[in-house]
Amino acid sequence: MQFSAEFAAEFEQLLRWRRDVRHFRKEPVPEDLFRHILATACLAPSVGLSQPWRFVRVDEPGRRLAVRDVFRRCNAAALSAQAPDKAGLYARLKLAGLDDAPIQLAVYAESEPAQGSGLGRATMPETVHYSVVTAVHTLWLCARVHGIGVGWVSIIEPEAVTAILDVPQAWRLIAYLCIGYPDGPADEPLLQRAGWEKRCDPAALILAR
């Protein structure tokens, strides 16, 4: 299939405008739209066509509060570990949308899925987890197309979250996502706007051998 130059330009624009969202409106996401986003995420490639992703929607207030407590504890530890010249800036960063995002979604990997019959995993079993990351990215892009923001909360303890959600211990937490309508557009990463870091020249990341 051939794509037009106009589509190619819009696709690049989508990649540039995909943001890690931390500020959300509390407006609910329509259920049919959320289901469509999840279905689109399942179009992602996976090793051996194993489709090892498992989506766990976290709605119960007590579980949400428990996850929020895990984040608070981990964030406090991360703050105490910052170098003096970074600690003040770190303390001002908003690093999660747990209080406002209408949807919280834990994305797990089934580390030994029966589907796929092990194809492609003998020498690199971690490709199961990489496959789930591709599903997360696909979800993120589809959400952005429909005006929905996604924030990846990584300052948490996976084992603690797994216990809170009461899912199989063999599953591995890949991403904890906040999903909802963003509170305003952003054309550059939050951490870049805040002065924490900036994108480097892609040429510096490409090697030839």
**Average of per-residue pLDDT across 100-111:** 97
pLDDT at 146: 96
pLDDT at 92: 87
pLDDT band at 200 (very low <50, low <70, confident <90, very high): confident
| Helix H or strand E segment including 108 | strand 103-110
User: Of the ranges 24-38, 72-86, 134-148, which one carries the lowest mean pLDDT score?
Assistant: 72-86
β-strand 149-152 against 171-180: which pairing, if any?
A: antiparallel
**Residue 91: is its pLDDT beyond 90?**
no
DSSP state of 182: B
Question: H-type helices in the chain, by residue range?
Answer: 5-17, 31-41, 61-80, 84-92, 127-145, 158-165, 190-194
- Phi, psi for residue 189 in degrees, rounded to 5: -60, 145
pLDDT at 185: 72
Exposed e or buried b for every residue in 95-116, given b needs 16+ CB within 10 A? bbbbebbbbbbbbbbbbebeeb
> Any idea where the domains of the chain sit in the sequence?
27-184
Q: Which of 12-16, 81-85, 136-140 has the highest mean pLDDT?
A: 136-140
pTM, two decimals, is: 0.92
Pick 34 or 20 by higher pLDDT: 34
Top-level CATH class of 27-184? alpha beta
pLDDT mean across residues, the chain: 93
**Residue 90: is its pLDDT beyond 90?**
no
CB contact at 8 A, 137 and 200: no
The pLDDT tens digits for 161-192 are 999 999 999 999 999 999 999 987 777 777 77
And the tokens for 6? 């106009």
Q: Given CA atoms 91, 95, 97, 99 in this order, what sign does their dihedral have? A: negative
**Residue 50: is its pLDDT beyond 90?**
yes
